[in-house]
Amino acid sequence: MDKRTRVLNALNKQPVDHVPAGFWYHFAGEEAVGEGCVQAHLRYFRETDLDFIKVMCDGYFPYPITEKIEKASDWRKIQPIGKDHPFISEQVWRAKRVVEEAGKDCCVFYNVFAPFSSIRFGAGEELVMKHIKEDPLAVMHALDVIAQDNADLAERLITEAGCDGVYYCVQGGEIGRFTHEEYRKWIMPSDLYVLERANRYSENNIMHCCGWAGAKNDLTLWQNYPVKCINWAVYVEEMPLEEGRSFWGGRAVLGGFQTQHIDAACTQYEGILYTGTKEEVQAFTRETILKYGKLGLMLGGDCTIASFIDYERLRWVVEAARQV
């Protein structure tokens, strides 16, 4: 079974010869831009022998806010940047180049952030949270605008770049940030707008429930989001894969490995993927598969892995998965 078939079968809960695996990390410097970024993704994929590529949106985290935002009402000035804006077209180009080089061999997914993440990256956490409490409708207007642009990005990634789907990252569900009702009213509409557009063009979209702050999320906020596969921070949320299978309604899952940093500088990581011997990593891999079963499972991390990890450690996971 080739890698493309294996991953598509896993996403759609069809039989696989072995459980596919995929990990990813943030590139920096020359590897985060232009052709250097494309080649970095391809080199990583080929040297690790992973089963799919998740293209990172490094360099495009901050949404380009074109208006000066001083008071909450200023968010009403925001207008869509348009599908041909460099912020969108440059990311489509990046994805298309990766697909051209590797798309025949494997599935390619591209990281798309939820509008709430985009607006925080663009304007800053403190300002956005202050304004959404003062004038939620004004900030919701901005979220609606960004949702249009992120939806255009998702559409072009699938229809023009040839991605098999998007890896949609939701954030902001940390317990204590919003009440359930606030999130449902203020944030969820923009999420669902982007996902609805992505789902028009691909049935194989993945959602990442990001535990970026190391704080637990209210996962019930995202429980019914319309995606094919879910990746969540198993260790942060203290929800094992087996429990998640029921929580997420039996949909395919991606994860199983602890991969998040434990310090603000992102230099210290914990978990068997970093600290285990080859025998320990491979035993953990086999145990994870045997406990969950091979149907509807893809091995991966809670989030991004450390850029300094030895690729050999990832090959240990791949090797063990192919023996089960």
Domains annotated on the chain, with CATH? 3-321 (3.20.20.210)
Task: Provide the β-strand partners of residue 299.
Answer: 21, 255
pTM higher than 0.85 for the full model?
yes
Query: What pLDDT is attached to residue 267?
Result: 65
What CA–CA distance (Å, rounded) separates 185 from 277? 47
What is the predicted pLDDT for the residue at 122? 96
- Mean pLDDT for 26-30 is 95
What is residue 213's predicted lDDT score, i.e. its pLDDT? 67
Identify which of 181, 114, 316 has the alpha carbon closest to the alpha carbon of residue 122.
114
Strand partners, 166: 110
pLDDT tens digit string along 169-217? 999 999 999 999 999 999 999 999 999 999 999 999 999 999 876 789 9
Q: Does residue 262 have a pLDDT over 70?
A: no
Q: How far apart are CA 226 and CA 103, in angstroms?
A: 25
pLDDT in tens, 127-186: 999 999 999 999 999 999 999 999 999 999 999 999 999 999 999 999 999 999 999 999
82-94 pLDDT per residue, tens: 999 999 999 999 9
- Distance CA(213)–CA(119), nearest Å, equals 17
Q: What is the percent of the chain with per-residue pLDDT over 70, rounded to a whole number?
A: 97
- Asked if 186 contacts 141 with a C-beta cutoff of 8 angstroms, the reply is no
pLDDT of amino acid 211: 87
What is the rounded distance in angstroms from the CA atom of residue 132 to the CA atom of residue 134?
5
Residue from 216, 231, 250 nearest 21 by CA: 231
